[in-house]
Amino acid sequence: MISRRPDDGDGRVNGALMTGHARRTFLTYLVAAPALAVVTRIGLDAVDPDTAQAAIPTPPAPADLVDLGDLLILAGKPTAGMLVLSVDEDGIVHFRLPREEVGQGLTTAVAMLVAEELDTPLDRVRVQLEDARPELLFNQLTGSSNSIRSLYDPVRHTAAAARARMVGAAAKQWGLSADDLTVRQGVVTAPDGRTAPYGTLSTAAASLDLGSLIVTPKKESEHTLVGAPTSRIDARALVTGGQVYTLDLDVPGAKPCMVRRPPSINGTVKSVNNEAVVRAMPGVLDVVVIDAGVAVVAETFGQALDGKNALDVTWGGGTVDALSDDDIRAKLKAATPSLDLLGLLVKKVDAEFDFAFVSHAPMETNSAVADVRADGAEIWSGMKSPIAAQAAIAQAIGLPVSKVKVHVVQSGGSFGRRLFYDAALEAAVVSKKSGRPVRLMWSRIDDTRHGRMRPATHHRVRATYAAGQVLTFVHQVAAVETDFRHGLGDAITAAAAGLPTGLGNATFAQTLFLTTVKSPYNFGVTTQALTEVPLEMHTGSWRSVYSANTRGAEEIVVDELAAKLGQDPVAFRRSFLKTDRQRAVLDKVAEEGGWGRTLPSGWAQGVGFHDEYTSCTACLVEIDATDPRKPRVTKAVIAADVGRPVNPRGLEAQLLGGLTDAISTTLRAGLHIDKGLPLEASYSQFHYARQKDSPKDVRIFVLPTDHEPGGAGELGVPAAVGAIANAYARATGTKPRSFPVNFDVDFTPFPR
Amino acid sequence: MPSHTFNVNGKTVTVDAPDDLPLLWALRDLLGVRGPKYGCGIDVCKACTSHLDGEAVRPCVVPVAEAAGREVTTIEGLADGDRLHPVQEAWLEQDVAQCGYCQPGQIMAAVALLKRTKNPTDADIDEIANVCRCGTYFRIREAIKSAAARMA
């Protein structure tokens, strides 16, 4: 097990000051390099002492001992303290966040941590997304539900150091001991009543010599803001149209640009047959061939779109032109290892599952602004791995990394999509070729057909049981390769993942699978394994990566096992879960959701459970499947233990989003691949849930617990997938095996 | 190039653009009014929902020529100076937005609904077909009910 808080107790960090940059502010760079204690215990002695005595204990899986989040924190540790916080002379606190805000509420949670530690009002804290800083190495990746886990301590230490400097400056000014001063609402107060607001101290604090600064963040028991339900800091901008997304930026001279893309994935441009005609169209400024297709630059996006549609291009073939859904499904099935042969006398549950490709489909399509000149470039885009983006862009436009400024912009959703920076790369290349700044936007159709997808998967599960116990649990997963070529967000691992053999990416995939997927149950000898089928398609991590399908399928098998053993699904889970924390969230939804209550015919309840990144959650839903072709989840009750909650209101929002993702992908939303291209091309065809598909009654409980913060951004999806599938199964008397369950091509596909 | 004069959020504007240029791009690219968002361009996602003479429309499929002489209200024109519209207030109260990209359209659709129906039922709310990819639908529903109560 890895302890992430070896500095518990004295919380020492070394503070070093950088004052040369600004007169109006003071800057604090903190380099925190605490020693790391690593203790590994593998084997049965590591079984949680809470474990139910009756069940056959399952030794910990790798993800129980070291999960992906632990590894990312470890990788980021040497640079974790390189955070920048400044205080203006008007007392406004600025924090530069080396992560991306995509709607997950991270800027609000971080602002809360800063305000708490500085004892200053939340509305005086501004969080700015940090430009790509290559020296941060692994510490500028937004993913794996890791932001709060990795930033919780470093942010608190940074803000605590800033507070200490403020108090130190006041103490010096008044000739008093810092110990005698108090801080409230950003104002330092002396015992005799003298006061000094932070703004009046920031200049003095910047030049203050405190020697080796020793700071200790507040005890968590003293938190008043952290842990309190808090609205987003950007809520007003978001409801007034004031929020600035990439294409809302005013970059002087940047012209709209759209790209005509090939009729199949990874198709190539052979020739443009009517370039002169398109160039002569109203508003069209330039036509440029790039790797992905043919770019049209125009005065407005409407004209760029007209130009793109008018292009006559001769295309070369794509990389998966011969493949349609049936072929891919057959490949996956063939790649799934057979299950062990067991004695005929053993009772078992066998199940096979298929999950379709799913689009990330963030509301804001892939977009970027680029201004590339001979001597330097500036790029703006929503990016979760900006360091890797910067390296790739620099290479593509032939400039040194130091000449490529990469600005990270808050985005309209991600769900994993913005780990890839293809729009930024395309915009940079077009800007260079066209000799002008451009604002590049993907059409929705292209975003759906040529964007990233969650890979399709096939699952083979076998659970054996005897005498009321589960003896073995085997889950073989075959998946179309997930592209991890963004690496850990840095330039080095991105290059390693991109090695031509594919081995780099395969290693990433196995590591990610092994460090995220685990079973929360004592099901005896448990095996979960991944086999990848490499296909040259645009895939990528989709909220919860392997867990939505893998754990979703397992939760269905859990219900079927309970039925075989003649047990109630909640009681069955209770007796096989490993820890009391897990049972607490399950009990909460069973109690609040009225588990077992009578419902009309065609309606049913379902329950699901999931544990990842040191958090756990249970979900209970009710479904109306009177018409099995048009089921509706009518009610949902969710409970989660994510350790100490920073912002319960934001956490509830994340769980609500996970629920809606699960409703969509379990019941109706997926992509059909037909001869190398998705048939779906917009939200009229890719059936992500609307208001009419969403429950009218949702209750979410974030349990107040005292464990260190766990991951929460992806947590909600797998449990809800299981709950919805189980409710649908019970309501319809079927055994759902292929997802989404209603997946007809109920539309006329757009032309390619 | 034809010229089109209309009112945007209380101000008279004139743009030179082809008749069939979608109003969305006249607003965003020619007038710098960027609250309405592009999400699909074919009246499916409804992220750009705004009002034309008080009725909810999708500027991505309204030719700019159709706006001539009429009043366009976008999300930027909903508040009365610093005083937010009750629907915006309700959105803040419920902390609805996540990424926020669809929310200008969701709010404009809700305002139009509340204009038609003072006390919308769940079935009325279900008819708002605007996509929210963050899945905030339940909070949207609660906010519309809260706004209806505020406006009663």
Residue written as token pair 């399928």: A553
Closest CA in chain B for residue A444 = B40
Res A501: pLDDT: 67
Q: Are the CB atoms for B60 and B22 separated by under 8 Å?
A: yes
By mean pLDDT, which of A493-507, A646-660, A677-691 is the weakest? A493-507
Count CB atoms within 10 A of the CB of residue A536.
14
Phi, psi values for residue B88, rounded to 5°? -65, -40
Percent of chain A scoring above 70 in pLDDT:
91
Res A53: pLDDT: 52
- DSSP class of A671: B
Among the candidates A441, A473, A492, a domain finishes at A441
Residues B34 and B66 occupy one common structural domain:
yes
Residues B67 and B99 occupy one common structural domain:
no
Residues A250 and A300 occupy one common structural domain:
yes
Phi, psi values for residue A165, rounded to 5°? -70, -40
Does the residue A185 lie in any domain? Answer: yes
- Does A257 lie at the interface with B, CB-CB under 8 angstroms? no
Residues of A in contact with B47 (CB under 8 A): 363
Q: What is the pLDDT of residues A453-497, one digit of tens each?
A: 999 999 999 999 998 999 999 999 999 999 998 888 888 888 888
Closest CA in chain B for residue A238 = B100
Q: What residues does A606 pair with on adjacent strands? A: A621
Residues A558 and A619 occupy one common structural domain:
yes
Residue written as token pair 């070529």: A485
Q: Are the CB atoms for A415 and A661 separated by under 8 Å?
A: yes
Closest CA in chain B for residue A662 = B135
A706-725 residues touching B, CB cutoff 8 A: none
- DSSP class of A179: G
Q: How many helices (H) and strands (E) does chain B have?
A: 5, 5
Q: How does the average pLDDT of chain B come out, rounded?
A: 98
Phi, psi values for residue A194, rounded to 5°? -65, 145
Residues of B in contact with A717 (CB under 8 A): none
Burial class (CB in 10 A: 0-12, 13-18, 19+), A388: buried
By mean pLDDT, which of A1-5, A49-53, A216-220, A638-642 is the weakest? A1-5
Q: How does the average pLDDT of chain A come out, rounded?
A: 90
DSSP for A447-507, written as a single string: HHHTS-EEPPEEEEEEEEEETTEEEEEEEEEEEEPPP-TTTTSSHHHHHHHT-TTSHHHHH
What type of residue sits at position B37? K
Residues B8 and B63 occupy one common structural domain:
yes
Does the residue A360 lie in any domain? Answer: no
Residues A363, B133: C-beta atoms closer than 8 Å = yes
Q: A631 or A492, which is more confident? A: A631
Residues A436 and A457 occupy one common structural domain:
no
Per-residue confidence at A94, pLDDT binned at 50, 70, 90? very high
| Mean pLDDT of all residues in A247-266 | 98
User: Collapsing DSSP states into helix, strand and coil, what is residue A473?
Assistant: strand
Closest CA in chain B for residue A360 = B133
Res A25: pLDDT: 46
Number of domains in chain B: 2
Residue written as token pair 């436009």: A397
Per-residue confidence at A344, pLDDT binned at 50, 70, 90? low
What type of residue sits at position A333? K
Residues A435 and A457 occupy one common structural domain:
no
| Distance from the A173 Cα atom to the nearest Cα atom in chain B, whole angstroms | 40
Torsion sign across C-alpha atoms A412, A416, A417, A418: positive
Residue-wise burial string across A103-124, b where 16 or more C-beta atoms lie within 10 A, e elsewhere: bbbbbbbbbbbbbbbbbbebeb
Per-residue confidence at A40, pLDDT binned at 50, 70, 90? very low
Residues B27 and B90 occupy one common structural domain:
no
| Mean pLDDT of all residues in A4-23 | 32
Torsion sign across C-alpha atoms A281, A285, A288, A293: negative
Selecting from B76, B98, B129 the residue whose C-beta is nearest the C-beta of A240 gives B76
Does the residue A293 lie in any domain? Answer: yes
Does the residue A166 lie in any domain? Answer: yes
Reported as half-sphere exposure (CB side, CA atoms, 13 A), residue A458 has a value of 19
Among residues A67, A83, A137, the alpha carbon closest in space to that of A488 is found at: A137
Nearby residues of B60 by Cβ (< 8 Å), 6 or more positions away: B22, B23, B24, B38, B40, B41, B42, B43, B48
Does the residue A526 lie in any domain? Answer: yes
Res A565: pLDDT: 95
A544: left (phi over 0), alpha (psi -120 to 50) or beta: left
Angle of the A547-564 helix axis to the A716-732 helix axis, nearest 10: 40
Torsion of CA A738, A742, A745, A746, to 10 degrees: 180
Phi, psi values for residue B54, rounded to 5°? 85, -5
Reported as half-sphere exposure (CB side, CA atoms, 13 A), residue A479 has a value of 26
Six-digit token string for A498:
């991109």
Number of domains in chain A: 3
Among residues A451, A450, A440, A452, the alpha carbon closest in space to that of A305 is found at: A440
Residues B41, A444: C-beta atoms closer than 8 Å = yes
Residues A179 and A251 occupy one common structural domain:
no
Per-residue confidence at A345, pLDDT binned at 50, 70, 90? low
Residues A635 and A720 occupy one common structural domain:
yes
- Does A107 lie at the interface with B, CB-CB under 8 angstroms? no
Residue-wise burial string across A352-366, b where 16 or more C-beta atoms lie within 10 A, e elsewhere: bbbbbbbbbbbbbbb
Residues A300, B21: C-beta atoms closer than 8 Å = yes
Q: Give the domain range for residue B65.
A: 3-77
Count CB atoms within 10 A of the CB of residue A583.
19
Q: What is the pLDDT of residues A169-200, one digit of tens each?
A: 999 999 999 999 999 999 999 999 999 999 99
CA dist., res. A522 & res. A52, Å (int): 8
Residues B59 and B101 occupy one common structural domain:
no
Among residues A401, A418, A336, A454, the alpha carbon closest in space to that of A102 is found at: A418
Torsion of CA A419, A425, A426, A430, to 10 degrees: 160
Residues B111 and B67 occupy one common structural domain:
no
Count CB atoms within 10 A of the CB of residue B110.
29
What type of residue sits at position A219? K
Residues B13 and B72 occupy one common structural domain:
yes
Closest CA in chain B for residue A664 = B135
Q: Is the pLDDT of residue A8 over 70?
A: no
DSSP for A61-128, written as a single string: PHHHHS-HHHHHHHHHGGGTT--EEEE-TTS-EEEEESS--SSS-HHHHHHHHHHHHHT--GGGEEEE
Res A504: pLDDT: 80
By mean pLDDT, which of A35-49, B1-15, B102-116 is the weakest? A35-49
Residues A178 and A271 occupy one common structural domain:
no
CA dist., res. B36 & res. B27, Å (int): 8
Residues A648 and A518 occupy one common structural domain:
yes
Strands A347-355 and A457-466, sheet pairing:
antiparallel
Residue written as token pair 């993913």: A143
Among the candidates A441, A462, A482, a domain finishes at A441
A286-325 residues touching B, CB cutoff 8 A: 299-303, 305
Residues A101 and A25 occupy one common structural domain:
yes
Residues B100, A301: C-beta atoms closer than 8 Å = no
Q: What residues does A199 pair with on adjacent strands? A: none
Residues A656, B75: C-beta atoms closer than 8 Å = no
Q: What is the pLDDT of residues A513-557, one digit of tens each?
A: 988 899 999 999 999 999 999 999 999 999 999 999 999 999 999
Among the candidates B58, B77, B96, a domain finishes at B77
**Interface size between A and B, measured as CB pairs under 8 A:** 190
By mean pLDDT, which of A11-20, A474-483, A691-700, B49-58 is the weakest? A11-20
Residue written as token pair 């691949």: A673
DSSP for A205-245, written as a single string: HHT---SS----PPPGGG-SSTTS----TTHHHHHHT----
Per-residue confidence at A209, pLDDT binned at 50, 70, 90? confident
Among the candidates B18, B47, B77, a domain finishes at B77
Six-digit token string for B132:
């929210």
| Mean pLDDT of all residues in A93-120 | 97
User: Collapsing DSSP states into helix, strand and coil, what is residue A707?
Assistant: coil
Res A35: pLDDT: 21
Which of B128, B138, B146 is best to mutate for the A interface (most A CBs within 10 A)?
B138
Which of A231, A239, A542 is best to mutate for the B interface (most B CBs within 10 A)?
A239
Q: Give the domain range for residue A189.
A: 14-40+80-223
Res A3: pLDDT: 31
Residues B104 and B147 occupy one common structural domain:
yes
**Cα Rg of chain B, angstroms:** 15
- Does A656 lie at the interface with B, CB-CB under 8 angstroms? yes
CA dist., res. A378 & res. A432, Å (int): 11
Six-digit token string for B35:
């609250």
Q: Which helix (H) or strand (E) covers residue A286, if one does? A: strand A284-290
Q: Are the CB atoms for A153 and A4 separated by under 8 Å?
A: yes
Residues A403 and A530 occupy one common structural domain:
no
Six-digit token string for A608:
């699901």
CA dist., res. B74 & res. B85, Å (int): 13
Residues A457 and A437 occupy one common structural domain:
no
Residues B9 and B66 occupy one common structural domain:
yes
- DSSP class of B72: E
By mean pLDDT, which of A160-164, A261-265, A549-553, B108-112 is the weakest? A160-164
Q: Are the CB atoms for A324 and A673 separated by under 8 Å?
A: yes
Residues A375 and A461 occupy one common structural domain:
no
Residues A653, B78: C-beta atoms closer than 8 Å = no
Residues B23 and B42 occupy one common structural domain:
yes
Per-residue confidence at A343, pLDDT binned at 50, 70, 90? low
Among residues A464, A461, A459, the alpha carbon closest in space to that of A524 is found at: A464
CATH classification at residue B58? 3.10.20.30
Q: Is the pLDDT of residue A108 over 80?
A: yes
Q: What is the pLDDT of residues A692-730, one digit of tens each?
A: 999 999 999 999 899 999 999 999 999 999 999 999 999
Among residues B78, B68, B71, B72, the alpha carbon closest in space to that of B59 is found at: B72
Does the residue A30 lie in any domain? Answer: yes
Residues of B in contact with A102 (CB under 8 A): 99
Six-digit token string for A178:
């810092």
Res A57: pLDDT: 86
Cα distance from N-terminal residue to C-terminal residue, chain A: 52
CATH classification at residue A611? 3.30.365.10
Phi, psi values for residue A681, rounded to 5°? -145, 0
Residues B117 and B90 occupy one common structural domain:
yes
Among residues B60, B48, B137, the alpha carbon closest in space to that of A696 is found at: B137
Q: Is the pLDDT of residue A123 over 70?
A: yes
Count CB atoms within 10 A of the CB of residue A698.
22
Per-residue confidence at A212, pLDDT binned at 50, 70, 90? low
Q: Specify the length of chain B in residues.
A: 152
What type of residue sits at position B60? C
Does the residue A466 lie in any domain? Answer: yes
Res B90: pLDDT: 98
Residues B96 and B53 occupy one common structural domain:
no
Q: Specify the length of chain A in residues.
A: 752
Among the candidates A412, A441, A470, a domain finishes at A441
Q: Is the pLDDT of residue B130 over 60?
A: yes
CA dist., res. A93 & res. A186, Å (int): 10
Among residues A586, A430, A431, A609, the alpha carbon closest in space to that of A520 is found at: A609
Does the residue A66 lie in any domain? Answer: no
Q: Is the pLDDT of residue A569 over 90?
A: yes
Q: Is the pLDDT of residue A17 over 50?
A: no
CA dist., res. A407 & res. A368, Å (int): 10
